[in-house]
Amino acid sequence: MNPTALKEHEGAHLDATRQSYDTVAADYARFVKDPGALDPVSRAVLSAFAELVTSSGLGPTADVGCGPGKVTAYLTGLGVSAFGVDLSPKMIELARAAHPGLRFEVGSMTALESGDGELGGILAFYSTHHLPPAELPQVYGEFYRVLAPGGHLLLVTRVGEEEHQRRTYGYGDGDPAPFDSYRLPADRIAELLERVGFAITAQTLQAPDEGEKRPVVSFLARKPTTAEAP
Contact yes or no for 65/127 (Cβ under 8 A): yes
Contact yes or no for 80/59 (Cβ under 8 A): no
What is the predicted pLDDT for the residue at 16? 82
The HSE-up count of residue 53 (CA atoms within 13 Å, CB side) is 30
CA dihedral angle for residue 180, residue 113, residue 64, residue 198, rounded to 10 degrees: 100
pTM of the model: 0.90
152 to 98, 130, 223: CA distances (angstroms): 27, 22, 6
Contact yes or no for 120/148 (Cβ under 8 A): yes
Contact yes or no for 75/82 (Cβ under 8 A): yes
Where do the structural domains in the chain lie, given as residue ranges?
3-222
Domain 3-222 sits in CATH at: 3.40.50.150
The HSE-up count of residue 97 (CA atoms within 13 Å, CB side) is 11
Closest to 217 in 3D by CA, of 230, 193, 197: 193
What is the predicted pLDDT for the residue at 104? 98
Per-residue pLDDT tens over the stretch 114-162: 999 999 999 999 999 999 999 999 999 999 999 999 999 999 999 988 8
The HSE-up count of residue 228 (CA atoms within 13 Å, CB side) is 10
Contact yes or no for 186/136 (Cβ under 8 A): no
DSSP symbols for 24-56? HHHHHHHHSPPGGGS-HHHHHHHHHHHHHHHHH
What is the predicted pLDDT for the residue at 50? 98
Q: Which residues of the chain are modeled with pLDDT < 50? A: 1-9
